[in-house]
Amino acid sequence: MCIQADFSTDEGIYTFADKVREQCTSLRGILHNASGWLAESPTASLSHVLNAMLQIHVHAPYLLNHALEDLLRGHGHAEGDIIHFTDYVVERGSDKHIAYAASKAALDNMTRSFARKLAPEVKVNAIAPALVLFNEHDDEAYRQKALNKSLMKIAAGGERDHRSRGLHPRQLLRDRPYLCGRWRPSAGLVKTAPQENQQPGADSPTRHRAG
């Protein structure tokens, strides 16, 4: 089943939620991977950039999680899932994508709050990708500059990458029934020392920057 959606407005978000409810009586999980990537520039409207980033990265998951909450519940202990796709830039910030980084940081924080709200029926976690795959139009200079930021110096689909490897969402959905309210980086830029039996929102750090 495929449902077309427009998350650029709250009305579009609610319309999508209504369509889901019309066709589904329950949901196994929600993966929030809709994203935008606008940069600040002398010619850009800063209010537009900020509002657009908050709309797609904060309004959409916030409103959908609330609107579809009852469809995720009722399946048993830890049988529902929400996964937020954030970004490794939440940890380091960005001088060229300030609104983007701030909106992803808000999404990262919502992971912890929704984990508290929905546990133990629904697990809420986040995946924070860094460099995964280049766009077709990215030139060689940009690709090399981006690779130099990575510890592994490799991207999916590259000459040295025979298999696209990463943390697949099903590892959180199926293989981690006790993982909730956690942040999982991907793409080789950071490493984790997760404490998977920790209660959501506990104050012990679970991530450490590599290098």
d(CA 14, CA 23): 15
**What is each CA distance from 53 to 60, 64, 76, 96, 133, in whole angstroms?**
10, 16, 35, 13, 21
Q: Within 13 Å, how many C-alpha atoms sit on residue 182's CB side?
A: 21
Rg from Cα positions in the chain: 18
- Of 14, 62, 88, 100, which one is the catalytic site residue? 100
CATH C-level class of 10-128 = alpha beta
Each residue's pLDDT, cut to its tens digit, for the chain (211 residues) gives 899 999 999 999 999 999 999 999 999 999 999 999 999 999 999 999 999 999 999 999 999 999 999 999 988 777 899 999 999 899 889 999 999 999 999 999 999 999 999 999 999 999 887 655 666 777 888 777 766 766 556 665 554 444 445 455 555 555 555 455 445 555 443 333 333 333 333 332 233 333 2
142 is catalytic: no
Does the reported pTM lie above 0.75? no
Q: How far is CA 20 from CA 42, 67, 115, 120, 205, in A?
A: 40, 10, 22, 23, 36
